[in-house]
Amino acid sequence: METPLSPLEFMRRARRLYATREAVVDGDLRWTYAQFFDHCDRWSAALQALGVAAGDRVAYIAPNTHQQLASFYAVPQIGAVLVPINFRLAPEEFEYLIQHSGATVVCVDPDYIEAVDALRPRLPGVRHFVALGGAREGWLDYAGLVSAAAPAPVRPPVAESDLLTINYTSGTTSRPKGVMITHRNAWVNAVGMLVHMPMSAADRYLWTLPMFHANGWTFTWIVTAIGGRHVCLRKVEPAAVFRLIAQEQVTFLCAAPTVLIALANAPAEAKTGVPAGVRVLTAGAPPAAATIQRIEDELGWVVTQLYGLTETSPLMTICEPLPEHTALSRDGRARQKARQGVEQLTGGEVRVIGAEGAEVPADGETRGEIVVRGNVVMAGYYRDPEATAAVMGDGWFHSGDAAVVHPDGYIEIRDRLKDVIISGGENISSVEVEATLLRHAAVLEAAVVGFADERWGEAPHAFIVFRAGCEAAPAELRTFCREHLAHFKVPHSFSPVVELPKTATGKIQKFVLRKGRPNLAAQ
């Protein structure tokens, strides 16, 4: 009587319960669930006609469109494995991921067809290239294939241990690794999210988070599970985000901290008519308390911090609000919300361990590494048993994130282990220093890295993006930091920059900043 745990169960249920409800909005396109699933079924049948069988990999390079959303149903319901690729990568990176995944079909949005077209002679394993919008010479036409296909694909049995997706890591320090997510991984993560953040058919979800990023934190399936409305957005621009929120009466969205910063600093006129009460989930990098405070105070939205990695399907913890948090001061609530929180009910066991493997004391000071085991942890890295063993060999997945545990049990990330700055024998959290700098009225974004120092071994250096029309001298920033930080944590030097290098998911690429060390003599 057991039914495999799979997001495909959400699709089956939604067919029965939500057929006439509006499912997808993408520009002028508006589909009910019946229309959306008919589209998915026809594309599944078309893929089978192209020779795609269970276990085959189908890659997508596309922004948040209805075609990309459909891939999360059409590909797995025929037993194939979806490979959603970061569309902001360089062509040679497309080539590597397509080849490494062994994709036999590659589906590409018109914006990226030219880049992929040049790679085709170097991709002998790909049998079919599909243009997701408009006919292209030498490409199969997605719309034509869908319209010509039968509406009833063959659905082979799917086991919950089968691969659902291969999601590639950002590859900031090495080649990207293919994270193997099973049907069970995704189902458990999606249901756990709904336990902590209940949603209903009345919710309207705006796709500000890339769907390719850890399967949109499983909201590609969560929204469907409760019969909500998917509002697609090709490009995240504050004006477009606020326009759609007001126009579609959006109630829910997910965003990296960099997106929240952009929204908070958008012109006041862009926010006209934007409803209060929008629920926002943020993760991907530790958000500053100041950013959360601005979003909640100025927009009247409710921000909740999550934590996880692509390797954990992706969500492990949530900064769960408690009744006693309402008694905290305004600043205190913001600082509490900036923590990564506690285990999700279905997220597995999460610990913070020291160098010897014992859990660190819950004192808010002693650092250790976050490790996790449970049903959300990936099956491993695709075609990379050595890397899999390196992070999972002892029965725990090792995150590489340095954190403390507060007396109330809430975890707070202090840095990536590789980003901790050791100055004069003292550990400095770059995240803590960045959060302090973001409290300065002139600072829009900040990134802190350690540079070699003859006296201290390493010394913190801050890269600063100022708000439009604002600036602050290094001496002023240094004084501000000394008012809020221990003196050894204060950056020794500051560099104003126009923008910070980031991954497509909003994470600051500190390795790029370390390579481009500025001339600090003047400071």
* Domain presence at residue 170: yes
Of 476, 97, 66, give the one whose Cα is nearest residue 232.
Answer: 66
Q: 156: burial class by Cβ within 10 Å (0-12, 13-18, 19+)?
A: middle
How many domains are contained in the chain?
2
Domain end: 235, 258, 282, which one? 235
* pLDDT (tens digit per residue) in 443-463: 999 999 999 887 888 899 999
* Domain presence at residue 300: no
Mark out the alpha helices in 300-360 (DSSP H runs): 330-337
For 176-203, what is the mean pLDDT? Answer: 97
Contact by Cβ (8 Å): 279, 304: yes
* Domain presence at residue 493: yes
* Domain presence at residue 17: yes
* Domain presence at residue 127: yes
* pLDDT (tens digit per residue) in 69-118: 999 999 999 999 999 999 988 898 899 999 999 999 999 999 999 999 99
Contact by Cβ (8 Å): 234, 481: no
* Domain presence at residue 36: yes
Domain end: 235, 264, 285, which one? 235
* Domain presence at residue 150: yes
For residues 352-382, one letter each, b for 16 or more C-beta atoms within 10 angstroms of the residue's C-beta and e for the rest, the string is: beeeeeeebebeeeebbbbbbbbbbbbbbbb
Q: Which two tokens stand for residue 269?
A: 């006129």
User: Distance (Å, rounded) from C-alpha 505 to C-alpha 502?
Assistant: 8
Q: Residues 181, 223, 40, 135: what is their CA dihedral angle, to the nearest 10 degrees?
A: -90
Domain of 436, CATH number, reads 3.30.300.30
* Domain presence at residue 240: no
* pLDDT (tens digit per residue) in 467-512: 999 999 999 999 999 999 888 899 999 999 999 998 766 788 888 8
The answer, yes or no, to whether residue 286 has pLDDT greater than 90, is no
Domain end: 183, 217, 235, which one? 235
The answer, yes or no, to whether residue 173 has pLDDT greater than 60, is no
Phi, psi of 359 (to 5 degrees): -65, 140
User: Distance (Å, rounded) from C-alpha 216 to C-alpha 308?
Assistant: 13
Domain containing residue 39: 8-235
User: Distance (Å, rounded) from C-alpha 113 to C-alpha 333?
Assistant: 47
Domain of 193, CATH number, reads 3.40.50.12780
